[in-house]
Amino acid sequence: MDKKSLTAVARQQLKLAATVTSGRSSQTIYGGHANSLRQTVVGLCSGQKLAEHDNSGEATLLVLSGTLTLHSGDNEWKGSAGDLLVVPKARHSVHAIDDVAFLLTVAK
């Protein structure tokens, strides 16, 4: 069994995001491209975003700290610490309202 502290990984990713011009950082903590399940902790600095992209399977965002908005077409969902958002099966983007860390879970 492998155990990870999501709180510690989130803190680390936010710290790394603050040091790069893109204002974002991520670490896959389980699975990967060769697996059907992948879990990645993403840190985004306030005002940064993940540009619009397609959803390649089922996906959720679990907000670990901070606040974000998930956009898809004319729809928008706000998420804060503890919120689980189901990513629509459509093009979407993520915007950091303030420094935010989230767990992205994707099943292909």
- For residue 57, the model assigns a pLDDT of 81
Contact 58, 76 (CB under 8 A): no
pLDDT (0 to 100) of residue 56: 74
Q: For 80-85, what is the mean pLDDT?
A: 98
pLDDT at 90 over 80: yes
Band (1; pLDDT cuts 50, 70, 90): confident
Helices (H), 1-108: 6-17
What domains are there in the chain, each with its CATH number? 6-107 (2.60.120.10)
Residue pLDDT, tens place only, 6-63: 999 999 999 999 999 999 999 999 997 788 899 999 999 999 999 988 877 899 999 9
What is the predicted pLDDT for the residue at 101? 98
